[in-house]
Structure 1
Amino acid sequence: MIPDDDPSRSLTVANPDDPATTYISLVGNTYAMLITGEQTNGRYCLIDMRVPDGGGPPPHRHDFEEMFTVLDGEVEFYFRGEKHTVKAGTTINIPANAPHNFRNVSGAPARMLCMCTPAGQDEYFTRIGDVVSGPDAPAPRLSPDELTERRHRAAELASAYRSEFL
């Protein structure tokens, strides 16, 4: 039987151009928090990822599903050590716990939507990155000490967000 509607939950309309959108600068990438776990009762989050040429995270894994749809550009995904080139219009799903990473090596910016289920990655990124004013805002200029602090914070919080760097 389907539960009754929960009128306390409202419709969410996500627009990356909305001035209320939170943008996070993280390792040179800019991530827009389109739909947060808070808005979905933790069911999922949706992140608009803008990845410059050469950008992408180090190898990692986590205990949640992660689905990417490439909107612009071309991105190399490494899944269990095997390279997969993903072009605009393509969607891939990374199963929970599988080692992976991605890298934009296209020579141009790339843009992807990333859905994580359950949510949590949105909160993790917000806690380890720096808020910027919009999708084209420059990354903050961090001193070597600030960069070291960000890396330590990411590593320290990873397990709380069911993630592990490899």
Structure 2
Amino acid sequence: MALPYFVLTPERRETPLNVLGTQVTVLASNASTQSYGVTFQRGDEGTGPPPHSHDWDESFYVLGGEVEFHCDGHAHLCQPGTLVHVPRGTVHGFHYGKGGGQMLEITGQDALAAQMFTAIDREIPVGPAPDIPKLLAVLERNGVTVSA
């Protein structure tokens, strides 16, 4: 049976999740589409995840500001209009550049990104120094491996 279509207007969006300083709005979870996921992410200058990998593909489309991506040891300063595709298993990370940035994240089938973002928002208090062991446990539980 095919899933029905849906239209998500701005006033029907969920409240953004606070994921260690990045505001993440889940627009479509993998569960809701039974395929891909889409989030809108906005971060302040200098925020972003450390190098990590996971067992799902994802792509990022930079909408505003600048975002510096690191993929397999290579740095890329990305301006609006840039698409970055990261295949499953690739070590990657990013941080928002001067003035912060905005982007869409599209995750591949079987991704746990929306569930992971929700768990971080719920379990890791906002503050200057997150509880690293607890954060690593949440990431591991959701299939993410942080690289050294």
TM-score normalized with structure 1 length: 0.79
Matched, 1:125 2:106: no
TM-aligned CA deviation for residue 98 of structure 1: 0.7
- Report the counterpart of residue 3 of structure 1 in structure 2: none
Residue segments in structure 1 that go unaligned for 5+ positions in a row = 1-5, 132-139
TM-score normalized with structure 2 length: 0.88
8 Å contact kept, 1:67–1:91: yes
| Equivalent AA in structure 2 for residue 76 of structure 1 | E
How many matched pairs? 145
In structure 2, how many angstroms separate the alpha carbons of the residues matched to 1:143 and 1:55?
12
Larger Rg: 1
Alpha-carbon spacing, 1:141–1:82, altered in 2? closer, same or farther (3 Å): closer
Matched, 1:51 2:43: yes
8 Å contact kept, 1:75–1:85: yes
In structure 1, how many angstroms separate the alpha carbons of the residues matched to 2:101 and 2:6?
25
Note the alpha carbon deviations across 1:115-165, whole angstroms, 9 max, x for none: 11123100111011149xxxxxxxx75486xx31xx333311323322100
Matched, 1:35 2:28: yes
8 Å contact kept, 1:61–1:96: yes
Note the alpha carbon deviations across 1:18-77, whole angstroms, 9 max, x for none: 244241001111000100122112x22101000111111011011110100000011110
Aligned counterpart in structure 1 of residue 107 of structure 2, from 116, 130, 155: 116
Give the percent of matched residue pairs that are identical in Structure 1 and Structure 2: 26
- Report the counterpart of residue 101 of structure 1 in structure 2: 93
Matched, 1:72 2:53: no
Alignment of 1:16-31 (within 5 A): 17-31=10-24
- Report the counterpart of residue 161 of structure 1 in structure 2: 142
Query: How much is the aligned-residue C-alpha RMSD, in angstroms?
Result: 2.0
Residue segments in structure 2 that go unaligned for 5+ positions in a row = none
TM-aligned CA deviation for residue 12 of structure 1: 2.2
